[in-house]
Structure 1
Amino acid sequence: MITVIEQAVQARLVATAPKVETVPVTLCYDRSDPFAVRMAFPAPATLEGVEVSWTFGRELLETGLQGPAGLGDVRVRPYDEGRTVVEFHAPEGVAIVLMETADLHRFLQRAATIVRPGTEHLYVDMDHGLAELMRDSC
């Protein structure tokens, strides 16, 4: 049984400069962290020159395809009929990424084959999570 999916997509980094750069981005969904999705940017696309990953709620991505969603570090909203904006807010600044909405829908459909939305709680290992939280407390 498949428990992890990864999907490569093209994203356009929107900058203040007139050039909009296209970079490959990897979307990842792992059943062991059923509420989250991960978006990884390759080293050449980051200020630090190393791969950077952002992890945020699958529900945030789903909701953001329909209308503005998110108030924190990650915000998602439709841009036009075929594209979606994902904003990443960090102390260094804001990265604005344009992605094809169809690619995001396809990724979420694949994730739903692993864990159906609304059933994520069935896949959370509470004992392991508590053990991790308590590991350094003694």
Structure 2
Amino acid sequence: MSTVIEQSVEARLVAAAPRMPSIPATLHYDRSDPFAVRMTFPAPATLEGVEVCWIFARELLAAGLRTAEGQGDVRVRPYGYDRTVLEFHAPEGTAVVHVRSGEIRRFLEAANALVPVGLEHLQTDLDEALAELMRDA
């Protein structure tokens, strides 16, 4: 059984211009980091011309499908019937993208099949994590 899920999604960048260009993005879930989701934007889709990766809680993504969630660098909220807004806040500015809610739901269903919500702690080796923290201290 695979321990990683990757799903391409079509994100629509919300900009000042009337047209909202589509940009590719990839949602990534890894059983070895069971509480997190990663969303990656390829270099051509970013202002800096380098791949940009945001890591945030799987719980935040799931809750944001139903109601506005997040207070930090990543915020998620529903938008209309079939879209979800993801806001990424950085010192350089804020990126706002729309993603089809169905794509996010499919991704979360696959992640939940890999590691059910509430059982994430079973994927974490606390002794190894503590040893790693102690090595860094």
Aligned length: 137
* 2:18 aligned residue: 18
What are the equivalent positions in structure 2 for 1:1-138 lying under 5 Å apart?
1-137=1-137
- Per the alignment, in what secondary structure is the counterpart of residue 136 of structure 2? coil
Distance 1:47 1:135 in 2: 37
Structure 1: stretches of 5+ with no match in the other structure? none
- Paired with 1:64 and 1:92, the residues of 2 have a C-alpha distance of 24
- 2:22, 2:102 → 1: CA distance? 17
Q: Give the percent of matched residue pairs that are identical in Structure 1 and Structure 2.
A: 64
Residue 29 of structure 1, CA deviation: 0.3
CA distance in 2, matches of 1:8, 1:106: 11
In 2: Cα distance, 1:21 partner to 1:93 partner: 18
TM-score scaled to structure 2, two decimals? Answer: 0.96
Question: Deviation per CA, 1:65-114, whole angstroms, max 9, x where unpaired?
Answer: 00001111000000110000000011011100100000000000000111
Q: CA separation in 1, counterparts of 2:132 and 2:48? A: 29
> What amino acid is aligned across from residue 51 of structure 1 in structure 2?
E
**CA distance in structure 2 between the partners assigned to 1:89 and 1:128 by the alignment:** 32
d(CA) in 2 for partners of 1:79, 1:100: 9
What TM-score do you get using the length of structure 1 for normalisation? 0.96
Could you list the runs of 5+ residues in structure 2 that have no partner in the other structure? none
Pairwise CA distance, 1:136:
2.7
